[in-house]
Amino acid sequence: QVQLVESGGGLVQAGGSLRLSCAASGLTFSSYVMGWFRQAPGKEREFVGGINRSGSSTYYTDSAKGRFTISEDNAKNTVYLQMNSLEPEDTAVYYCAAKRFGNYGSSFGYGYWGQGTQVTVSS
């Protein structure tokens, strides 16, 4: 079955960086759109961005644009979220997700989810 396992979360000071990883198994990685979401305490889950099947194009929401970078390594079936210039407002549980159909710029249609990894940014 499909499994997505995130890692790399932790505690970081404002202005710092973290790189999250999401290792996928049970799917043909190159056939899936991958996305990153986050959910802060008391808030709804928020789309951060996505990467297309070939890894050649990415999309970011305004909150991530210019600070976050999504990339993937098809040989390792892994997608990454590099986060720079972190702010306390970035504190959330971060999830990766996969979908077989749909556009990488859309938050809809993700059917597979990881368990999430906590990112805490201190001021």
What pLDDT score was predicted for residue 65? 96
Q: Rounded CA gap, 12 and 75, in Å?
A: 29
pLDDT in tens, 30-88: 899 999 999 999 999 999 999 999 999 999 999 999 999 999 999 999 999 999 999 99
Residue 29 pLDDT more than 90?
no
* Mean pLDDT over each residue of the chain, to the nearest integer: 96
Give the pLDDT confidence score for residue 24 in this predicted structure: 97
Residue 104 is encoded by which pair of tokens?
Answer: 């990488």
pLDDT in tens, 93-114: 999 999 999 999 999 999 999 9
**Which of 57-68 are b and which e, b meaning 16 or more Cβ less than 10 Å from the residue's Cβ?**
ebbbbebbeeeb
